[in-house]
Structure 1
Amino acid sequence: MPARVMWRRELIAAGFAAGELRQRVRVGALVSIRRGAYLTGALPPDPELRHVILVRAALPDLAADAVVSHASAAVLLGLPLWNVPLGHVHVTRCRRSGARRSSGAHVHAAPLQPDEIVEVDGLRLTSPARTVVDLARWLPFEQAVVAADGALRLQLVTREGLAEAVERAARRPGSPAARRVVAFADERSESPGESRSRVALHNAGLPPPVLQWEVHGRSGLWLARTDFGWPELRTVGEFDGKIKYGRLLKPGQTPGDAVFEEKRREDALRDESLRVVRWTWGELDHFDPVAERLRRAFGASERTSQHVG
């Protein structure tokens, strides 16, 4: 039987004594997840799944008009999040004041229109567009872009819907930041790492790349789709954070096969006089060396072009 949230009052009503509940917590039959709320099984290791449990445990203690919002709504909607705290359950109440933050919940006070509320698994949440804009007003730019890119990629929102949501939030704190996030968001970013890479490239002052660049050889034959491309500068950028050699293996393919195939792919790109610059997840936090490698590749391409000319 899957683990579920149960409340102290219903357990007492079912005939359990307070001492029995304490004993069940000691032996692991129940897990105390907040005051008066228990889980009938172990907490899942996944932070998003744990947060869903926290949301369901917290809602009975919150006001009836509370709507799950911000990071909590993002988790329930399936939006990708990166480096976003999930220790508090976020809800929004449609009122001008009364925002508060306790040890387990963050209650926001802001206008909410009926079309900004959706129902998921029996819970009332802010709509995907409203959720993205709330995150963009609240989170740093990089984290907000990860969520906005993901919402577009998953087709949970449209650009028009995000633009409308930004306009509705025009007088709320953080609205200029939200406008910047929505303008920057791109559905072609296929992972949080690619979204973070776009932000890193932007912050380094590098030219905007073509995303998911389809490369064809001189004969017109398709060679590869690359994460990032600068066609005029004959440079390809590849983010190696997609577990390409593990989770995304083709049927019957071994990690060694995948590595060999990737090497052949890169050799084909280099045969077309393309320079390939790779970076990993760990390099995104200190991107200057990657940016310098890209600048050298751009410079080499420009020198080759001048020489040929």
Structure 2
Amino acid sequence: MEIVPDLRTRSELLASGVTDAEVRRLRRRGEVTTLRRGAYCPATDERLRDPDARHVLRVRATLPALAEGSVVSHISAAALHGLPTWNVDRDRVHVTRDAAGGGRRSPTLHAHIAPLAPDDVVTVDGMAVTSVARTVVDIARDLPFEEAVVVADAALAAGLETALPAAALERAGRWRGTPAARRVLAFADGGGQSVGESRSRVAIARAGLPAPVLQWTVVGPDGRFVARTDFAWPDRGVVGEFDGRVKYGRLLRPGQEAADVVHDEKLREDAIRAQDLAKVRWYWADLAGFARTAARLRARLNL
């Protein structure tokens, strides 16, 4: 039996008969991971391998030690809602309190002070968390545009009604960052199906290219379905696709190998091109410097 099953605090361990010396020994051996000072979990916990799941563990370890009325917010709330994040610091837990003061920031905690309307707070796994709409607005106010769009797109794709973050933003009034949040909400689109696709949309816009149609369906002359593409400029006969590579593994059916999926993808590309469509594909590495991909798109679009 593990001395530290799941998440345990120092006080819980001492109450169960585990000594400080035993905990120190487990830490030296690498058998437990410290989530915050005085909170541990087994190093074999699979959730530690996933950045978002690890952050949720850190939130669970931190919240009981905070002042009453602390509500999980910002990227910590995004993790609890299952919304993906990109290029964010997951070491720091974010909470918000509706109070006159007491905000603070440390390497492990950012306690925000801001009003919280009743509709702004929900319960997730027994914890008070800002609603998806409020979370999107808070992130859009605080994070850079591209990072915020990733979260906003994912929330809309998961079914968030656009009116809800708009209402949350309206309640924010003249809070810091509201102009930036308006830009994020105006740009957000639930048609983005992944972090890479959201980042691609931002890159396309920054390159000055026309906004694409998202998740466009290609049909043959007989009206039959051919494929669905990530991006399309139908009036110019061009489609674009972001290839995160990981999707090949996700598409594997029982008994199927990666080579089979790659072959199927090749047939799919041939079917798309057979409809007199030009196709441009790009990868994760291309998003860091999109100029070459933008030039390829511009050439295909005859701009």
Distance 2:271 2:40 in 1: 57
Aligned to 2:262: 259
Q: Give how far 1:146 is off.
A: 0.7
Q: Does 1:219 align with 2:187?
A: no
**Aligned residue pairs: how many?**
299
| Partner amino acid, structure 1, of 2:63 | L
Q: Does 1:144 align with 2:139?
A: no
Q: Give how far 1:40 is off.
A: 4.0
Contact 1:3–1:42 at 8 Å: present in 2 too?
Answer: no
| Partner amino acid, structure 2, of 1:167 | E
Q: Give how far 1:283 is off.
A: 0.3
| Partner amino acid, structure 1, of 2:121 | I
Contact 1:149–1:195 at 8 Å: present in 2 too?
Answer: yes
Aligned to 1:4: 6
Distance 1:123 1:35 in 2: 20
Q: Deviations over 1:16-71 (max 9, x none)?
A: 33323322333344433322222244452111121111111111221011000001
**1:255/1:11 Cα in 2 relative to 1: closer, same or farther (>3 Å)?**
closer
Of 203, 211, 217 in structure 1, the residue corresponding to residue 206 of structure 2 is 203
Q: What SS is found at the alignment partner of 1:244?
A: helix
**1:33/1:254 Cα in 2 relative to 1: closer, same or farther (>3 Å)?**
closer
Aligned to 2:287: 284
Q: What SS is found at the alignment partner of 1:149?
A: helix
Aligned to 1:53: 57
Distance 1:85 1:37 in 2: 20
Q: Give how far 1:271 is off.
A: 2.2
Distance 1:72 1:64 in 2: 17
Q: How does 1:182-197 map to 2 (within 5 A)?
A: 182-197=185-200
Contact 1:244–1:258 at 8 Å: present in 2 too?
Answer: no
**1:14/1:266 Cα in 2 relative to 1: closer, same or farther (>3 Å)?**
closer
Gaps of 5+ in 2: none
Q: Deviations over 1:171-227 (max 9, x none)?
A: 111111111111111111111111111000000000011111111223333221111
Aligned to 1:247: 250
Distance 1:163 1:3 in 2: 43
TM-score (norm 1): 0.91
| Partner amino acid, structure 2, of 1:163 | A
Q: How does 1:1-309 map to 2 (within 5 A)?
A: 3-42=5-44, 44-155=48-159, 157-241=160-244, 243-299=246-302
Q: Deviations over 1:242-270 (max 9, x none)?
A: 52322222344332222222222222222
Aligned to 1:305: none
Q: Give how far 1:228 is off.
A: 0.6
Aligned to 1:307: none
Contact 1:6–1:40 at 8 Å: present in 2 too?
Answer: no
| Partner amino acid, structure 1, of 2:238 | T
Distance 2:79 2:127 in 1: 12
Distance 1:255 1:61 in 2: 47
Aligned to 1:306: none
Distance 1:196 1:150 in 2: 12
Q: Deviations over 1:81-122 (max 9, x none)?
A: 111110101000002432211231100000001211111111
Contact 2:251–2:261 at 8 Å: present in 1 too?
Answer: no
- Stretch moving more, 218-227 or 172-181: 218-227
Contact 1:3–1:41 at 8 Å: present in 2 too?
Answer: no
Residue identity over aligned pairs, in percent, reads 54
**1:295/1:38 Cα in 2 relative to 1: closer, same or farther (>3 Å)?**
same
Distance 1:16 1:221 in 2: 66
